[in-house]
């Protein structure tokens, strides 16, 4: 009788466990297709963070070169050092201009630092080898996310909106999921993380778009400025050295590529925000995604096009 009762207890216990597991895996855990889309988004994030870096620095170098090109129009005399002194001052001003533009590059770098940490969090949360330790690592990264957000907010452009500090909420979501069935926990954390991060991503991409559009305008204006300076040098010197021609050609080529890349970075920022919103919408509840999320496809296409432009800048 005791054995029979024990068997009944075991059967009932296993049945209850099966029901619980079904509840976890059948109702809350994201499907394979949903996790696949998060992975694709994470990969696109990694690629995107490599794009804008150096745009402002590149423009700073171009602005410096234009100032130095203007110096080639001056005439100098040992008996009168006035022009030499002015030339020395203009070299210093060219340096200051380059450093000022480097500050804009730092703002973009800080924005990318936020995005890179978020990408690392997503990469860990979609890992096929997800463990408790990996979850804790993601929680710690979320704390680092707030530090990166604070650094960005302290040095943002006046017109840019401050970024919300969502790292604490993400870390709390990760730690509150402790004790659940591992795959259910992974899916729940992933879903909560994407939802918590959405206000941050929307604000961040809006700011990145502003920075990129300003940079595109700077590159466009530089093209006209370089042409004016080149024409004056050519008219006054009557003859140009091969070195001068080569420098002007390289700078003009970089300006064209810089303008195109800045525009594409801005367009990709818009696509990124849309893709993240679509990801939030598609992971609110468990569902089989029959097709790839269109917004993520669009983001990947924008990033690929920008990568091709950036490749030409290094040639």
Q: What is the DSSP string of the chain?
A: -HHHHHHHHHHHHHHHHHHHHHIIIIIISPPHHHHHHHHHHHHHHHHHHTSSTTHHHHHHHHHHHHHHHHHTT---BTTB-HHHHHHHHHHHHHHHHHHHHHHHHHHHHHHHHHHHHHHHHHHHHT-TT--HHHHHHHHHHHHHHHHHHHHHHHT--TTSPPPP--HHHHHHHHHHTTTS-HHHHHHHHHHHHHHHHHHHHHHHHHHHHHHHHHHHHHHHHHHHHHHHHHHHHHHHHSS--HHHHHHHHHHHHHHHHHHHHHHHHHHHHHHHHHHHHHHHHHTSS----SS--HHHHHHHHHHHHHHHHHHHHT-
Asked if 110 and 182 sit in the same domain, the reply is: yes
Looking at the fold, whether 16 and 98 belong to one and the same domain comes out as no
Q: 145 vs 37, which has greater pLDDT?
A: 37
**248 and 193 inside one domain:** yes
CB 107 within 8 A of CB 153: no
Residues 257 and 160 in one domain: yes
Model confidence pTM above 0.85 = no
- Co-location of 13 and 95 in the same domain: no
Least confident of 46-55, 188-197, 290-299: 46-55
38 with 115, same domain: the answer is: yes
- Any residues with CB less than 8 A from the CB of 70 and at least 6 apart, and which? 90, 229, 232, 233
pLDDT on residue 173:
64
Kindly state whether residues 2 and 41 are assigned to the same domain.
Answer: no
The pLDDT score that the predictor gives to residue 64 is: 80
Judgement on whether residues 7 and 142 belong to the same structural domain of the protein: no
Residue 85: domain span: 32-313
* pLDDT at position 185 over 70: no
Q: What is the C-alpha to C-alpha distance for residues 29 and 187, in angstroms, rounded to an integer?
A: 5
pLDDT of residue 183: 56
Q: Identify whether residues 93 and 16 lie together within a single domain.
A: no
* Residue 107 confidence (pLDDT) above 50: yes
Please state the rounded mean pLDDT for residues 95-112. Answer: 73
104 and 240 in a single domain? The answer is yes
Q: How far apart are CA 86 and CA 91, in angstroms?
A: 9
Count the domains in the chain.
2
In a shared domain, residues 142 and 264: yes
- Domain co-membership, 19 together with 115: no
Nearest residue to 306 (alpha-carbon basis) of 51, 43, 45 = 51
pLDDT at residue 108 greater than cutoff 80: no
């Amino acid at each position: 009788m005791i054995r029979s009762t024990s068997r009944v207890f075991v059967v009932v216990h296993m049945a209850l466990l099966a029901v619980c597991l079904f509840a976890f895996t059948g109702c809350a855990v994201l499907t394979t297709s949903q996790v696949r889309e998060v992975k694709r988004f994470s990969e696109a994030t990694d690629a995107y963070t490599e794009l804008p870096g150096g745009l402002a620095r590149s423009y700073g170098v171009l602005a410096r070169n234009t100032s130095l090109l203007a110096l080639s129009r001056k005439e100098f005399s040992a008996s009168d050092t006035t022009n030499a002194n002015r030339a020395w001052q203009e070299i210093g001003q060219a340096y200051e201009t380059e450093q000022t533009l480097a500050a804009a590059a730092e703002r973009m770098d800080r924005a990318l630092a936020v995005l890179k940490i978020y990408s690392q969090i997503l990469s860990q949360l979609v890992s096929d080898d997800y463990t408790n330790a990996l979850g804790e690592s993601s929680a710690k990264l979320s704390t680092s996310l707030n530090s990166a957000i604070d650094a960005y907010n302290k040095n943002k452009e006046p017109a840019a909106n401050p970024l919300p500090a969502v790292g604490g909420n993400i870390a709390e979501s990760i730690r509150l999921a402790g004790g659940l069935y591992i795959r259910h926990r992974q899916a729940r954390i992933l879903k909560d993380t994407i939802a918590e991060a959405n206000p941050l991503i929307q604000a961040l991409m809006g700011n990145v778009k502003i920075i990129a559009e300003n940079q595109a305008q700077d590159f466009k204006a530089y093209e006209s400025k370089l042409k004016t300076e080149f024409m004056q040098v050519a008219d006054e010197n009557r003859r140009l050295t091969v070195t001068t021609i080569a420098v002007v050609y390289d700078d003009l080529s970089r300006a064209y590529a810089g303008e195109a890349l800045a525009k594409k970075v801005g367009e990709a920022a818009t696509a990124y925000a849309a893709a993240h919103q679509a990801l939030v919408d598609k992971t609110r509840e468990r569902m089989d995604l029959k097709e790839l999320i269109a917004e993520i496809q669009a983001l990947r296409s924008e990033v690929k096009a920008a990568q091709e432009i950036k490749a030409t800048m290094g040639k």
